[in-house]
Amino acid sequence: MRLDTYDNKILTVLMENARVTWSDLAAMIGLSSPATADRVHRLEERGVIRGYEAAVDPEFAGCSCTAFVAVTLESAEQRNSFLNLVGNLAEVQECHHIAGDYDYLLKVRCLNTKDLDRVISSELKRLTGVRTRTTIVMNTLKESTRVPLKPDLFREKGE
């Protein structure tokens, strides 16, 4: 599935401001509003655009503790239970299957370190055979949900 330079422009604008109007977006990329809306809908249907959400400051939401938790499972049979558990834990913002010494890397946001202890000890480790290594974030200097688009991977308009 190759995208073209119009798609690149649409994605770039929407990652910056997903609340842009159809007419403003159309003016920015050089298409009509209906053509722009059709392209955005196609990008959504194809799964290129997975959704839209508000970027909430974790501090204002009471989540002053961020940690990265590396997880090792003793056996492959635990995988489904583990993935089901982390999928249902609101504190787990990201779960990545990784290569190296650990199986998974979790990004966890909690109220404080006591709440982090609850998530690790009472939630994650309630599954037998789960080992963790936790790194607590002292300060976040950069955090983004934007994907770095590579313009040379997009075909020219009309190709």
Here the CATH number for the domain that contains residue 23 is 1.10.10.10
Q: Is the pLDDT of residue 61 over 70?
A: yes
Is 154 within a domain? Answer: no
Residue 150 banded pLDDT, cuts 50, 70, 90: confident
Structurally, the chain folds into a number of domains equal to: 2
The tokens for 149 are: 């688009």
**C-alpha closest to that of 132 among 159, 108, 157:** 108
**First and final C-alpha spacing in the chain:** 13
pLDDT in tens, 62-103: 999 999 999 999 999 999 999 999 999 999 999 999 999 999
Query: Are 71 and 107 found together in one domain?
Result: yes
Residue 92 CA to residue 103 CA, distance in Å, equals 16
Is 10 within a domain? Answer: yes
Is 143 within a domain? Answer: no
Q: Which domain holds residue 70?
A: 65-136
The tokens for 156 are: 């020219």
pLDDT in tens, 1-35: 578 889 999 999 999 999 999 999 999 999 999 99
Query: Are 74 and 49 found together in one domain?
Result: no
Is 16 within a domain? Answer: yes
Is 150 within a domain? Answer: no
Is 77 within a domain? Answer: yes
